[in-house]
Amino acid sequence: MKSKKAMSHYSEDFKWRVVQEVLSGRYNKDQARQIYGIKSNCAILYWMRKYSGNEDYRYTHAFANGIKDMHGSKENLELKQRIDQLEEELRRAKLRADVWQKMIEVAEEQLQIEIKKKYGAQLLKHIEDKTDQ
């Protein structure tokens, strides 16, 4: 008669910690199994599926999609940070443009000259008049 393997029972906290270490890339499933002395070859995979919300252990596609979503969320976080950075740069550029506009208005008022006017157009007309003479 074959002897049955002793069933090991692990706490939910332990399972969760092992799954987090595997998902973070600290260990792969086999390394974690050896380090923590987990006898079952499939235990960590079952735990990963359980904590991902995929209770049907026969189908791994839902679990694989869950992992892709987790990686996607990291990419989304990076993209959000980049968007925030660009929005801050845009805000600063708008403030800079407003300051320049105000400087031009003050200079026009104090110096009684039109700075906004296209200076090159007057210069071109002046040059054309000289060449016609």
Residue 33: which of 52, 14, 51 has the closest Cα? Answer: 14
Q: Tell me if 44 sits within 8 A of 33, measured CB to CB.
A: yes
Q: Is this model's pTM higher than 0.85 or not?
A: no
Backbone angles phi and psi of 113, in degrees to 5: -130, 160
Return d(Cα 11, Cα 9) in angstroms, integer: 7
User: How do residues 34-89 score in pLDDT, each as one tens digit?
Assistant: 999 998 888 888 888 887 765 554 454 545 555 555 555 777 888 889 999 999 99
- Residue ranges per domain, the chain? 9-59, 76-133
